[in-house]
Amino acid sequence: MAKAAYRRVIVKVSGEALTGPAGFGIHQPTIDRIARDLVAAHKRGVTLGVVVGGGNILRGVQISGKNLARPTADAMGMLATVMNALMLEAAIERAGSPARTMSALAMPQVCETYERARALRHLEEGRVIVFAGGTGNPFFTTDTTAVLRGAEMGCDAVLKATDVDGVYSADPKKDPKAKRYSQLTHQEALDRNLKVMDATAFALARENRMPIIVFSIRVPGAIEAVLRGKGRATLVGG
């Protein structure tokens, strides 16, 4: 079995990835498959943190407007990530690895509040951490959260799980001539305004020299393949 290319990583899973064929909410077979892939990687000795989005339930930026302030809308979106995190935590534990949800929003009756030293202890004790609640602040995406937690946890890379097999010059579902990149620098991703992650996330990754690997979560075993350096993906930075 090939050695993992990265030993400590953050996996960013979008809320949309949890919908499966339904297009909304949580598709249990899909979340179970993702959990199995995470556990397979964890059992290879990779230390794992997971940042989960909430777009399958509610995305703050889409509901903000003149009747709802952006901070309020973003708070609602952060609550959606907590719901997803709790589901994913349970699925990971069913699949065979201990897991713990930690939220940037304090809700101690539901899950642990994120605190860096405690999170590091969970990782060192062999738990998969599911980070919820975004950064705990409005105006920041969960992509930025993934890079931030990656830097705080001393990770080797952020694995950005999407529904396409890398970074393209345009949406490959809409533009058949879209060019797929195998490797980019952080600055190239910023200069070309590539939409796979927001500019704040790319800039933070550049400042912390954090590689971002973009791959398709739709392929079973994709997480483990990327960790072996064998999966089809785009490397940003590195």
Q: Give the model confidence (pLDDT) of 143-168 as tens digits.
A: 999 999 999 999 999 999 988 899 99
Pairing of strands 128-132, 47-52: parallel
Position 238 confidence tier, pLDDT thresholds 50, 70, 90: low
Condensed to tens digits (0 to 9), the pLDDT of residues 205-228 reads 999 999 999 999 988 899 999 988
Domains within the chain, CATH numbers bracketed: 8-236 (3.40.1160.10)
Model-level pTM? 0.94
Residues 6+ apart with CB under 8 A from 113: 102, 103, 104, 105, 106, 107
Name the nearest CA neighbour of 135 among 150, 156, 118, 157.
150
Summarised one tens digit per residue, pLDDT across range 125-146 is 999 999 999 999 999 999 999 9
Give 36-64 pLDDT, tens digit per residue. 999 999 999 999 999 999 999 998 888 88
Query: Where do we find the tokens 């080797």?
Result: 156
pLDDT for res 65: 82
